[in-house]
Amino acid sequence: MEKASEEFLRCVRPQWKGMYHVARRYVVSEEDARDLVQETLLHAWRSFSPTEERTYSRAWLFVIMRSAVMDWQRTAKRRIKLVLAPDSELTELAPADLTEPLSPLPSMDEERFREFLDDRIVAALELLDSPFHEVLILSVAGDLNYREIADVLDCPIGTVMSRMARARRALRENLAVYARQEGWMKEVQS
């Protein structure tokens, strides 16, 4: 039987980069992100038991990380960039029409479009409301699928799908606002 520590490392190592990138989005400084990851690993190790009949999924690590962020938020020990609302405080999000056309973006070739996005996409992301911001970072930075995100946020998978769609639409709208403000919208993509 393998040692518990080797089993633990095998569970955690593949998620390492995702954990770091997500931590980097939760807190302000890189130093705090390293502390957050460290705290997550310690909590995870303390609760890890390969003899128990359970699966240590990726979501497990992010549940622990999220719990640490909420602790830090409550005690104001670190500067939190993405302020999380406790689940009990999240009211039902207003229904949005997900069938409406997406906000138009300026017409340009692919390379120029990528340059446009490079300069503005993080700012556009940070303007999103916290529930939308979070599903995006768990998906894009943490590489979690919708089922895993639902486990982390302790909500139905339908809620994740809805929030993800609304997050991407809002991101698109924010990018369109930048494009309009900066005079890019000479031709609008249909």
Partner 1 sequence: MTCSETREYIFAFLDNEVDAPLSIELQRHLDGCAGCAQEVEIERTVRKQLARAIGSAAEDVPGFDEFSNDVFTSEAATAQIGGRSFRDRRFYLGRILAAAAAVVFLVGAGAWFVLKDHFGSSTLRGFADLVVADFEHFLEEGKVVQIESADREAVGDWLRRQTALAVALPAPVDLRCKLIGGRKCKIDGRPAAFAVYDMNGAPVSLVAIAGEHVRLEGMTEVRYDGATLWVDHCRGHTVVAYRRGSLLYAVVSQLSEEEISCLTTGAAPESD
Q: In whole angstroms, how close is the CB of 131 to partner 1 at the nearest point?
A: 15
Least distance (Å) between residue 166 CB and partner 1: 9
In sequence order, the 6+-apart residues with CB closer than 8 A to the CB of 118 are none
Is 76 or 181 the residue whose CB approaches partner 1 more closely?
A: 76
Assess contact for 86 and 70: CB atoms under 8 A: yes
CB of 171 to partner 1, least distance (A): 7
Comparing CB distances to partner 1, the nearer of 28 and 122 is 122
* Dihedral (CA of 10, 12, 15, 16) sign: negative
CB atoms within 10 A of CB 182: 12
Does residue 179 bind partner 1 (CB under 8 A)?
A: no
Scan residues 39-68 and list those touching partner 1 (CB under 8 A). Answer: 39, 41-49, 51-52, 54, 60, 63-64, 67-68
**In the block, residue with structure tokens 């005690």:** 75
DSSP letter at 59 equals H
Q: Is 37 in the site for partner 1 (CB under 8 A)?
A: yes
> 149 to each of 93, 127, 159, 165, 186, how far by Cα in Å?
17, 21, 10, 14, 39
26 binds partner 1 (CB under 8 A): no
By the rule CB under 8 A, 73 interacts with partner 1:
no
Q: Among 89, 109, 118, 181, indicate the residue that binds partner 1 (CB under 8 A).
A: 118
Pick the binder of partner 1 from 102, 112, 129, 156 (CB under 8 A).
102
CB atoms within 10 A of CB 123: 11
| Residue in 34, 81, 90, 173 binding partner 1, rule: CB under 8 A | 34
Q: Are 189 and 107 in contact (CB under 8 A)?
A: yes
Q: Does 81 bind partner 1 (CB under 8 A)?
A: no
| Least distance in angstroms from the C-beta of 15 to partner 1 | 10
